Every structure is written in structure tokens, then in C-alpha cells.
Structure 1
């Protein structure tokens, strides 16, 4: 046990949370505190990866009676990025939140941004059709732009995007997108358009429906 603990303590939060570690924390209940109606906020924090970032940031939320509702965390080139959606008692103002996060941000070298989340943005009344698009081939400029442009013209919303580039004499590029398809859009037609674009770019493109995950 001691050996495992020593290894984990030497790893950064980004390494521990790698591979698109989406931490959907709907089931994590922290002290709710008083203050009547709650407000919802989104916090972003970026800084050099090191152990303890997640613990220090969420400790601030806990101390203020906040509830962590959703989050995404990843590491890119040694930098650790966090996006947190959380609710807090109505008496917890933006100034109080900023004041509470300031010592942690200073100690860990984090650049933070806090924004209130509008009530209309918190819930959607319709269930979108979620699909996954995979793009794979030789790396060259413009792959993400050309695919994103095609999707934008079709009014398709990108909800998640990740990329991976291999090293070597002939680097390969893998782009994975999670998208929401409008109800009127024909997936087969979209796939044909994507494959046509893929041939122009010299990459392989596939489209499939995303599996529903129950937490």
C-alpha cells in the first residue's frame, strides 16, 4: 500500500485524470449550507500540472457550502485545465467566491475565471441525438477547421472534442468529436458529406450514434 501511495503522490492530477477523465459529479453531495435559493456558477482554472489541484479547488467549494454538479478536467502539454459547474447558496456572491479562490490560485499558479450560469442554460427541454465523429489520417494543417466548418454549416453543435497526434517521421492525427444532430438532419447524408471531405483531406472519417451512458 505504501509503495502505491508514493507513486500516486508523485503523479500530477492531469496524469491521474488522463484520457478525457470526465468527472460527472451529480452524485457527490457536499454541505449545502443556508442562504435560500441557490445560484449556479462555472469556474475555469488552468495551471502547471501538479498533485493536489483538484483537492484544493474543491475544498474551497466545500467550505462555501457548494455542490459540484458537473466537471471536465484534462492535461495538455503539462498544463492542467479544469471546468467546474457548481451550485452555491444564494448569499455566496461573486466577490466572496473570487476572494475564496484567490489564495489557492496564487499558491498553485492558477489562472481562474468565474461566471454565473444563467438559469435558461442549465437544462434543455429536448433530448438531442448525440453522435460520434472519428477522423484519422496523416497530420496536416486544417483538419479540425475543415471538419468544424462543415458541421457549423449544418447547424450541428460540437459538445466535446479531443485530438491526439503521434510522433515520428510521418505523424498521424486522430480527431474525435461528440456532436448533437438536429432532428431534421439525415445522419446518412451527413456521413456521405463527411466522407467526401475526408477524401479531400486524405483522412478516414466515420460517424456513429453515441451509446447512452447511465451513471
Structure 2
């Protein structure tokens, strides 16, 4: 019997962190399934999904926790099956003037419609001809089939009319 673990970590960025993590997973008989890592302000942060035989699960958890001695803060959780709601994948891209609270407003609107966020990538950059900060965000979402693209688009346009919104259908990954 196998179990799946979801691991999150953060630590000061330096060369070799992915190697350190991957070697530990391999040594403790884990199978690396999926991951997302990034460097933000000198910190290395990410999430990882690992499958392991149930009898090796505790050793893997403990081995990952030992990475704290290497400067990584590690959290490990057992993956739980999720309730499947009929949905479709939709990618939402926003571009516009940056302002405080924009992610909170967008995520609240998505939650109110029952939309789940699979991933979120965002950043700000200076506008080409001014010192203004331009906000960019890409939300990969799962939208309940009871919510149409038009409904979602209308709700988001009302919320943030100054942001350009692009919706693109994507194949849903419900894992």
C-alpha cells in the first residue's frame, strides 16, 4: 500500500537545495511526483508531492524534518482524497495597475463562486514609460460546471474594472 505526502519548505537560497531534497527523498524510498519551487527575495520556497510505501512513510517524514539542520523549514502532510465536484479548468490572467488588496479581492470573488485555485503566479514590474507598478497574475483554476465563463468574467470585471482579464480554457487536472 502506498501513501502520498505533500511537503512544503522554505530556506535561504543556495546552490544544491533541490539536490539535497531529492537525495533525501530517494534515500528514504520516496518517489518524486510533482513539485513547484521558486526563489523570492533570497529565499527558496516550494512544495513537493511524494509517493512512498506506507511502511516507509514515517521514516521519510522524519528524514525530511531533519533537513532543518541544513537550514530548511519543512512541513509534511498526508495527502487526503478530495471531494470531486464536476468542473472545468480555466486560466485567468490579469494585468493592470498594482494596488494593495487586489489578490485578496480576486480570491474572495473566486471563492464566492466555488472556484478552486490550482496555482497562482503573480509579480509586479515597472511600467515601460512610467514609474507605476504593473500587476500581473495568472490563476489556474477549477470552475464548477454550474458557473459559466460569462458569469465568472462578469463578476471579475465588476470587481476590478481597471485590470485586463483574459480567460483561457485548460484541461482540468483534479489531482
TM-score by length of 2: 0.86
2:9 equivalent in structure 1: 45
Distance in 1 (alpha carbons) for counterparts of 2:137 and 2:60: 36
Please identify which structure carries the higher strand content: 2
Matched, 1:184 2:143: no
Which of 31, 40, 51 is matched with 1:67 structurally?
31
Q: Which has the larger radius of gyration?
A: 1
**Residue 143 (structure 1) shift:** 0.9
Correspondence for 1:31: none
Counterpart selection for 1:206 from 148, 166, 173: 166
Paired positions, count: 170
- For the 8 Å contact 2:88–2:172, the answer to whether it is kept is no
Q: 1:170 to 1:72 in 2, by over 3 A?
A: same
Shift in Å, 1:210: 2.1
Q: Taking structure 1 as the reference length, what is the TM-score of the superposition?
A: 0.71
Alpha carbons of 1:125 and 1:103: their partners in 2 closer, same or farther (altered >3 Å)? closer
Equivalent-residue separation in structure 2 for 1:53 and 1:178 (angstroms): 27
Structure 1: stretches of 5+ with no match in the other structure: 1-36
Equivalent residue number for residue 149 of structure 1:
108
Contact preservation (8 Å) 1:65, 1:88:
yes
Matched, 1:85 2:45: no
CA shift, 1:144, in A, is 0.8
User: Gaps (5+ residues) in structure 2?
Assistant: none
